[in-house]
Amino acid sequence: MRLVELRLRNFRQHRQASFQFAPGFNAVVGPNEAGKSALRDALRVALFGNPATTSDRLAEGLRPWGGDGAPVVELVFDVPQGRFELVKDFGAGRVWLRGQGRTWDRPREVQQALGRALGFQSEKAFLATAHVRQAELDRIDERDVAVHLGRIVAGADEDASRALQALHRALQELERGLVRPASNPGRLVRVQQRVQELQDRAEELRRALVAARDVAREAADLRRELEEVEADLADRTELLELNRRIQQVRDQADRLRREVGVRQELLQQVDRLQDQVRRARAELEGLPEGDEERLARVRESEGRAHELEARAQELETLQVLPPAPPPPRWWLWAAAAVSAAAAALLVDATFLRVALAVMAAALALLAWNRWHRFVQEGKARSEAEARAAERARLADQLRTQAQELHRQAQEELRAAGLPSAEALHARAARRREVEGELRSAQQRLQDLLGGKDASAIEEEMRTAAADLHAHLQFLESDLVRTKALLPLEVQRLESEVERLLRRREELRGDLHRLEGQLEAAPDAGELARVEEELESLQEELERLRRRQKALRAAIQVLEEAKAAVEVPARQAVEERAGRFLDRLSGGRYTRVRVPPDADTLRVEVWSEDAGRWLPPEEPHLSRGTVDLVFLAARVALVDVLAAGVRPPLLLDDPFVTFDPQRRRRALDWLRELSQERQVFLFTWDEAVAGLADAVVHLPPPGRTVPP
């Protein structure tokens, strides 16, 4: 691409200007603020500016200060296909490209055509390579050379290696703790762990809630059963109470019936007793008093008389002598003893003589005894006869006294008007009997009445009878007739009620336990909270995993892209930059290399003096040499990146750090470069004008370039 002419209207300080360019080396010469930068910007705007999308603010920056016209930039250029004329009107926002008998006015098409002609589609890449500003070389730190070259190759603001490092760091940060445990794990691990925790918690809560639901269901069943049991219990208890009451009423009725009977009996007894009392009293009227004493006297007299008579009888009985005793026959025993003694004398046998002697002695003793007794009995018999006579006299005396007593008794009986003591006895006994009966009747009457009178008892009886009637009415009611149970049935009912009471207590206990469990059960709201947090975190986790995959993919593709671009870039730097450097340094430095293991375009220069490869850094190399290396490498890269098309080089005084000799060599080199491409050098140095194929002189500020 060769720029032929640039026409400006209302562009910064150029209200109306036209600049013609030569095919080779063009020098734009002028003092500071003469509009060199404006011209360079005008070229940039002509090549890349789009009037259709340039904002008003940006367009405003292009206008002359205080001017009111809209900037218009026109560029005439040649390409192998022919000459083209470009117009960009920032007031109308229009663009035209004319050439080969055609006109293009769609900004997109125009821009594509320009990009193809220039070898650079993007402004950024063009600025990074073919557009070398003084400030860049001025400010560049030698250590940044590699980075700058890297950026050029990256076609971006960042060296691909640094971009990769940033991506790697982000990935490491994200994945920290994923493979090996880390004390401060990355977000991915943290979120994963939290998700796991929440999932566990949610599962636990779900289980607990299912369990609680079962418990609630069980509790509901129990509550239902409890209600049934309570209703049943109430019915049965009521029936039981009724039957108990019936039983009580029956018992009371029985009692009342008995009471009434007892009262009736009592009243009859009272009547009877009162009758008895009356009769006893009437009988007592006919029975005189004192019979008892009289009878006692009669009995005493009679008794004494009988006693005396008995004594006389006894005495008379004792007068009878005992019968004479039988004769004692004592002589028989004496004769026997003599006989025995005689025999003993007669017998000569010793033994027999002794025996007979002994017998004789015994018999003699016996005979004596009999005789003595006979004498004694005779004496006693005479004494007894004397005593008998005395007794007979005494007996007569007693019989006389007895007759007197009998007479006294007869007199008493006569006084009583009764024939015999038996009759008197009978009459006295009868009185005693009647008195006893009266006392007994009176006592019993007193006991029966118990301090009350009969009318009160009668009243009590009537009351009891009325109560009894009421009780009987209840017992005969429909309720009792339909609900009354047999005793066996009541017994069964009682045991049923007991069973229900036990069941009720069991159910209450179970319910209490279940309600306790339900109290302790988790809230469903907590599960919802956990699930909501889980949902958010799962989204976050998904985002982080996508980020992880994205970082890996970005790293992989970026590495591929970097390798694809850096290999030709490395070759270009080594070949062309070496050649340029040789030219620029006057043969002092001829070889440049880019170590293949370096992750960026780290350039090294062969130094004959040092005998080794040196990095382009002070103090190994001078500042000027470092700039030379950078310029050479950069121009070498332009050809790589422009892919064979040779775009014009715009150089804004890049030789400020060069000594005069190097400066001349640099200018010579530019002249050489300008053989095969257009070169624009913006400088204040009038001396350059002599070397250029065309010179644009910019007047000092305040003057305008003639049209």
Site for other proteins, rule CB under 8 A: 108, 111-112, 115, 120-122, 124-125, 153-158, 160, 163-164, 166-167, 169-170, 213, 216-217, 220, 223-224, 227, 518, 523-525, 527-529, 531-533, 535-536, 546-547, 549-554, 557-558, 560-562, 564-566, 568, 640-643
CB of 47 to other proteins, least distance (A): 14
Q: CB-based contacts of 26: which residues, under 8 Å, 6+ apart?
A: 678, 679, 680, 681, 692, 693, 694, 695, 696
Instruction: Read off the tokens for 623.
Output: 């500042």
Number of separate helices (H) and strands (E) present in the chain: 19, 14
DSSP result, 631-643:
HHHHHHHHHHHTT
Of the pair 143, 502, the CB lying nearest other proteins is at: 143
Helices within 142-186 (DSSP H only): 145-154, 160-175
Instruction: Read off the tokens for 101.
Output: 């008998």
CB of 573 to other proteins, least distance (A): 14
CA distance 366 to 327: 15
Beta bridge partners of 696: 28
CB of 494 to other proteins, least distance (A): 30
Instruction: Read off the tokens for 206.
Output: 């779900």
CB of 171 to other proteins, least distance (A): 9
Which contacts qualify for 536-545: CB closer than 8 Å, 24 or more apart? Answer: 537/191, 537/194, 537/195, 537/198, 538/195, 540/191, 541/188, 541/191, 541/192, 541/195, 544/174, 544/187, 544/188, 544/191, 545/188
Of the pair 569, 666, the CB lying nearest other proteins is at: 569
Beta bridge partners of 27: 681, 695
**Are the CB atoms for 277 and 445 separated by under 8 Å?**
yes
**Are the CB atoms for 434 and 284 separated by under 8 Å?**
yes
Peptide bond into 619 cis (omega under 30): yes
CA distance 275 to 278: 5
Which contacts qualify for 396-399: CB closer than 8 Å, 24 or more apart? Answer: 396/312, 398/308, 398/309, 398/311, 398/312, 398/315, 399/308, 399/309, 399/312
CB of 4 to other proteins, least distance (A): 25
CB of 254 to other proteins, least distance (A): 47
CB of 525 to other proteins, least distance (A): 6
CB of 46 to other proteins, least distance (A): 18
Of the pair 298, 551, the CB lying nearest other proteins is at: 551
CA distance 11 to 13: 6
CB of 43 to other proteins, least distance (A): 19
DSSP 577: I
Of the pair 119, 624, the CB lying nearest other proteins is at: 119
CB of 120 to other proteins, least distance (A): 6
